[in-house]
Structure 1
Amino acid sequence: MGSFSIWHWLIVLLVVILIFGTKKLTNIGKDLGGAVKGFKDGMKDGTAPDEPAAPPQQVTANRVNDPNTVDVDAKTKS
């Protein structure tokens, strides 16, 4: 009573095919397969990098006299 027989699964499959149609089910299968393949490729590419990535360069405050730089704390509304 707890498990379905093969006939139950065939009836469910027939109902799904009648509702969605074979073309839509084929497209869903292709999209799902492409997503799984892309995920596997991404996991394979990201597991062992050849060299560690360089940390981003830190921004320094040596642009004090640049006319395009605005100090938000010093700017007051008049």
Structure 2
Amino acid sequence: MKKEFLRNSLYVMVIIFVIGFVIIFSSGAIGKSMRYDYLKKYKNGVSSNQLEIYSNDITSNFRIAGQVISTLGGFGILLCGYAYYKDL
């Protein structure tokens, strides 16, 4: 029972780790998409400086979120792997 729980939690941590990497690598596309949505929202026009700052902030936020998620998943993988190995 304990080995099965450790194995399942290891799988969950690997999935969380992969989701974090997907968010990191797709942060540019997400930022670009949200920039276009921002342009659609303000049809009167937006200064290019303001648009660039908005786009960079969104991209950075998603990149940081992906890094945090993948770091937590990585630590979880290490802890679950160690506990699983020690239980053998």
Q: Which has the higher helix share?
A: 2
TM-score by length of 2: 0.37
- Which one has more relative contact order, counting CA pairs under 8 Å at least 6 apart? 2
Between structure 1 and structure 2, the one with the greater Rg is: 1
TM-score by length of 1: 0.41
